[in-house]
Every structure is written in C-alpha cells, then in structure tokens.
C-alpha cells in the first residue's frame, strides 16, 4: 500500500488579524475561544484520518520551535517530519519541495494531502469522507482540490466551476479569481461554483509531472534547493541560496489553473479560513444586543460589536458595529464592515519598521519567552521565563549590563569564568562585555526579572558565542 502523507503548510502573516496575528506569532498560532490554535486543530484533523504514514510540516524556520511545542499537545502522532523555509516563497515552491521530499522518502506513488494550517473545520467525519474521495481520484492521476459550498456571494475567495462528473467529484471547468459582487451573485445562483479552499490531494508522481509541464523553472529551483539542503541536520532547513531563486507564486497559478487533469470534490463539511476579525467573532456567541465579547468588557448602549481584550477591561459606550481588539502594546478600533482593511494598518506600520508588525510585547523563543515590562532612556525591564532543561545562548553585550533576579525556580548562570546557581529571591549581575549564559536545570519554569541598563538596550546588541538552536 502506498504511503499517505498529510502536508501542513504553515505560513503567512495573517495581517487582517493584527494586532493579535504578527510575523513572529502569526495566524496559525492564534488561540481560539476553546484555547486551541488553528495549527493544533489542523494537526488533530490530519492525525485523525485513517492510514496516515507520516506527517510533513512546511513552515518558516523561525516558527519551528513554536510548532514543535504545539504538536507536543497531541500524543501518539505518526512520525513527524519538517521542511523549514528560510523565508516564504508562496505555496507552489512549498508544495514542490514537499512533493520531492516525499518521493525521496516514500516513493513517487505516495499520496499527499495538502492542508493549510489556518483553516477551521468542525466536522471530522465529513472531512474524512471528502479526503477518502479525493484519495481515490488522486490515485487515478488527478490533481484534486476541495470545493466549499458557498453560503453567500463572497468576494474574498476564489471560485471553482465544476464540469463533467467524475464519480463523487467533478472535473474542474475553470478557476475564477476573486470576483466582483455581481459575478459572485451569479456564481451563487448557478449552483455549480464552489469556493476554492486551497486544500489539495495528489500523488507525488502526478504533481511532479504537472510541475515539469507547467512550472519547469520552479521545479528546477526547488530540486537544486533540496540537493543543497543538509538533511543530516534535523529539522532540515532549505538552502536559502537556492530557495530564493524559486518563483514566488501560488500552486493555483503555477499548476492548477493550467493543468487539464484537475478535479474538485464537493465538501460537505463546515469550513472557515478565519480570514478576518468578523470570521473570528463568529466563534463567540452574541448577547441580546448582538455583541460578542472575548475577555473582560463593560458595554453600555452598545450593539453589534466585537470586543477582545487580554489584560485589562475594555469598555464601550453608545457604539454600534465596531471591532475593538486590545493587546498589551496595540489597540485596534474599526468599523466591522471594514474588517478586511485591517491589513492596510500593517502596511502603514511596515513603512516605519514599527516593531508591532513583528513582535508582541511577549516574545517567544526556543527556550521560553520574555515580556518587556517597561522601557525608557538607558533601561529596559523584562520578565523572562525559561522552560525546564532549556538554555539561552552563550552571549555578550557591548552596550548594556544586566541584573537578574530569580522569582521562581532555579537558574544555572555562566558569568564570565564563573558558573553559579541562582535560586528564588537571589540575584546576579552581568557587566557589559562579559560572556554569560542562563540555563534552567530544574523541572519547573525558571522565572526571573531582568533589568538592563546602558547606552543602548536594543535587541540587536547580542553577540552569540554558542547556541543550542543554531542561531549563531
């Protein structure tokens, strides 16, 4: 029996969900009202399918440790494999890399199921049934996509027109880019159009043939990338020198819209790509005035609003149809009818290289996290959490000194030529220019307060001398 490999594509910044989704902690990692992330739900959905041989995740190398930690919540997974991108190049290079990797490990007859990490599907039984139909068509040499039955004349999705029947599926007559409202209404009335969900199923051999026929330059660049990638070091990071030569293009444009061997399976399951704050708001039940609240809020004469807060009370008085999303360092207020335009805020922030585009106030690292509590001229105060058994890099700073106070747990500290243990309520001082390292030898989190002082306290004043996570 040929191998069956779900491939989770975890990329994209989710700019329409700013300020919660950011480059360093993007949309797949957003926690939904039930406490699970979209990525975790995608993993569970894939693992729940019958006959899975292995699971491959294609993601940015900066997100590997976050992904690994999310996956740790699911016991008894099939073998997990990763391809880490040095930077995003869209879905076609990612899928090409996954296809070639699957051929090298499992053979050309293996079947791949490509799943974006930021979709929400509730009905696992209906999803599994659609996947089974797609696998049957894939093994007959079709490139299979999944069509979502439209419930409204949505202009934010691409559409698929179904042609002649293929058993439980249909041959694709054509793909349609995001339409005008008038055309979307026509498609909805026609009955043979579906939303393009961006999920695919195919054998590795079929996709390889399609890439050769329709995207030979892309295939050549990805083949060279894998040939230059060091698979002796796991997880494998794709060669940046070669991967940058791959065209930045979607699989729809590179292959699907050009191939004559594309089928669509109508999906009976519920589906959302959580593409805006309105979509996320739908996951929270409304009150009698149509308001939806995630967090602590006070509403007075407010209606049809969505409020989300993290650390403080959000109050709204006499307002209608607003989005209010409050985080530790950024606040979004928008008309709900303009939810799709939140990405324009991110575009403007990028022009000034504003840090809120990339990071939250709490920044996740392979070893744990840090939170900036306060910052001013010549000082910065952080709360640092180091996971059990984890270690920061051996490093030094040219422009700042650091004073560490352990709040809970225990720290092993390299401070110049000395190695000491710092316990709860104890402290140590690291002069500027001194090589130092912080490790947690205990079995609970080590939590400490760090006070930085000096002429420059930027995050780029770090000289890594040795690192367990390959960041030197």
Degrees (nearest 5) of the Cα angle 244, 250, 253? 125
| Beta partners for residue 23, in sequence order | none
pLDDT score of 12 more than 90:
no
**Structure pTM?**
0.91
pLDDT of residue 159: 92
> Over the stretch 339-350, which tens digit does the pLDDT of each residue have?
999 999 999 999
Domain boundary among 202, 233, 267: 267
Residues 257 and 309 in one domain: no
Q: What is the pLDDT of residue 178?
A: 86
Range of the domain at 294: 277-347
DSSP string, 340-376: GGHHHHHHHHHHTT-GGGT--SEEEETTEEEEEEEEE
Q: Is residue 380 part of a domain?
A: yes
Which helix (H) or strand (E) element contains residue 104? Answer: helix 91-106
How does DSSP classify residue 177? P
* CB atoms inside a 10 Å sphere around CB 221: 20
* 471 lies in some domain: no
Residue 205, token pair as written in the block: 């051999």
In the chain, how many domains are there?
Answer: 3
Helices (H) and strands (E) in the chain, counts: 11, 27
Instruction: Judge if 429 and 320 occupy the same domain.
Output: no
Please indicate, yes or no, whether residues 230 and 304 belong to a single structural domain of this protein.
no
Of 296, 320, 347, the one marking the end of a domain is 347
- For residue 375, how many C-alpha atoms fall within 13 Å in the half-sphere facing its CB? 11
Q: Tell me, what's the pLDDT at 268?
A: 86
Task: Name the pLDDT band for 50 (thresholds 50, 70, 90).
Answer: very high
Shared domain for 287 and 232, answered yes or no, is no
The pLDDT of residue 423 is: 96
- CA–CA distance, 322 with 324 (Å, rounded to integer): 6
Q: What distance in Å separates the CA atoms of residue 368 and residue 363, rounded to the nearest whole number? A: 9
Q: How confident is the model at residue 276 (pLDDT cuts 50, 70, 90)?
A: very high
Residues 10 and 128 in one domain: yes
The predicted structure's pLDDT at residue 151: 87
Whether 354 is in a domain gets the answer: no
Are 12 and 158 members of one domain?
Answer: yes
Same domain, 201 and 153: yes
Look at residue 239 and tell me whether its pLDDT is greater than 70. yes
290's tokens: 């149509």
C-alpha span between 127 and 111 (Å, rounded): 17
Q: Is residue 353 part of a domain?
A: no
Do 113 and 50 form a contact (C-beta atoms < 8 A)? no
Does residue 414 form part of some domain? yes
Is the pLDDT at 470 greater than 80? The verdict is: no
The CATH number given to whatever domain includes residue 446 is: 2.60.120.10
The chain-wide mean pLDDT, for the chain, equals: 94
Does residue 357 fall inside a structural domain?
no
Q: Is-contact 263 137, C-beta < 8 A?
A: yes
Q: For residue 336, is it within any domain?
A: yes
Residues 172, 160 contacting (CB under 8 angstroms): yes
Work out the pLDDT band at 472, boundaries 50, 70, 90.
low
Can you tell me the distance from the alpha carbon of 173 to that of 259, in angstroms, rounded to the nearest whole number? Answer: 11
Determine the 3-state secondary structure of 227 from DSSP. helix
How far apart are the C-alpha atoms of 351 and 329, rounded to whole Å?
18
Identify whether residues 448 and 317 lie together within a single domain: no
CATH of the domain at 141: 3.90.550.10
Whether 310 and 447 map to the same domain: the answer is no
pLDDT of residue 386: 97
Within a domain: residue 356?
no
Q: What's the rounded mean pLDDT across residues 380-391?
A: 96
Q: Which of 248, 267, 286 is the last residue of a domain?
A: 267
Percent of the chain scoring above 90 in pLDDT = 88
The pLDDT score that the predictor gives to residue 191 is 86
Which of 128-137, 189-198, 252-261, 450-459 shows the lowest per-residue confidence on average (mean pLDDT)?
189-198
- Whether residue 88 is predicted with pLDDT greater than 80 in this model: the reply is yes
Does the CA dihedral 278-282-283-287 come out positive or negative? positive
Is the same domain home to 399 and 289?
no
* Helical (H) or strand (E) element with 405: strand 400-408
The rounded Cα 114 to chain-centroid distance in angstroms is 15
Between CA 437 and CA 434 the distance in angstroms is 10
pLDDT over 90 at 262, yes or no? yes
Same domain, 104 and 122: yes
What is the C-alpha to C-alpha distance for residues 120 and 7, in angstroms, rounded to an integer?
16
Using the predicted structure, report yes or no on whether residue 135 has a pLDDT greater than 90: yes
What average pLDDT does this structure show over 256-276? 93
* Exposure letters 40-70 (e unless 16+ CB within 10 A, then b): bbbbebbbebeebbbbbbbbbbbbbbbbeeb
For residue 164 the two structure tokens come to 């002649």
* Residues 195 and 228 grouped into a single domain: yes
**Is there a contact between 121 and 113 (Cβ–Cβ < 8 Å)?**
no
């Amino acid at each position: 029996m040929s191998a069956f490999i779900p491939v989770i594509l975890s990329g994209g910044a989710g700019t329409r969900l700013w300020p919660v989704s950011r480059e360093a902690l993007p949309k797949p990692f957003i926690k939904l009202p039930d406490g699970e992330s979209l990525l975790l739900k995608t993993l569970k959905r894939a693992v729940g399918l019958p006959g899975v041989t292995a699971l491959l995740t294609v993601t940015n190398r900066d997100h590997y440790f976050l992904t690994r930690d999310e996956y740790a919540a699911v016991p008894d997974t099939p073998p997990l494999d990763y391809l880490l991108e040095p930077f995003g190049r869209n879905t076609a290079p990612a899928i090409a890399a996954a296809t070639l990797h699957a051929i090298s490990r499992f053979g050309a007859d293996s079947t791949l199921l490509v799943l974006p990490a930021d979709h929400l599907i509730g009905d696992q039984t209906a999803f599994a049934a659609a996947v089974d139909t797609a696998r049957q068509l894939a093994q007959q040499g079709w490139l299979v996509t999944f069509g979502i039955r439209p419930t409204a004349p949505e202009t934010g999705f691409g559409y698929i027109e179904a042609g002649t029947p293929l058993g439980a599926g249909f041959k694709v007559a054509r793909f349609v880019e995001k339409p005008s409202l008038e055309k979307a209404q026509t498609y909805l009335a026609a009955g043979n159009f579906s939303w393009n969900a961006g999920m695919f199923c195919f054998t590795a051999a079929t996709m390889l043939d399609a890439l050769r026929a329709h995207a030979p330059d892309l295939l050549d660049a990805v083949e060279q990338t894998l040939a230059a990638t060091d698979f002796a070091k796991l997880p494998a990071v794709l060669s940046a020198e070669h991967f940058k030569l791959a065209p930045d293009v979607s699989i729809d444009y590179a292959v699907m819209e050009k191939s004559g061997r594309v089928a669509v399976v109508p999906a009976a399951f519920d589906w959302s790509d959580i593409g805006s704050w309105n979509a996320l708001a739908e996951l929270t039940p409304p009150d009698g005035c149509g308001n939806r609240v995630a967090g602590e809020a006070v509403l007075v004469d407010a209606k049809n609003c969505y409020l989300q807060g993290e650390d403080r009370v959000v109050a709204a008085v006499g307002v209608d149809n607003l989005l209010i999303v409050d985080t530790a360092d950024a606040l979004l207020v928008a008309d709900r009818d303009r939810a799709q335009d939140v990405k324009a805020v991110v575009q403007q922030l990028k022009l000034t290289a504003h840090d809120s585009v990339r990071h939250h106030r709490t920044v996740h690292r392979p070893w744990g996290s840090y939170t900036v509590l306060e910052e001013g001229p010549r000082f910065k105060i952080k709360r640092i959490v180091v996971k059990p058994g984890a270690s920061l890099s051996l490093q030094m700073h040219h422009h700042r000194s650091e004073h560490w106070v352990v709040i809970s747990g225990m720290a092993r500290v390299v401070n110049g030529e000395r190695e000491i243990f710092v316990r709860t309520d104890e402290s140590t001082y690291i002069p500027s220019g001194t090589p130092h390292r912080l490790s947690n030898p205990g079995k609970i989190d080590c939590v400490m307060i760090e006070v930085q002082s000096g002429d420059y306290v930027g995050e780029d004043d770090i000289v890594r001398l040795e690192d367990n996570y390959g960041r030197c």
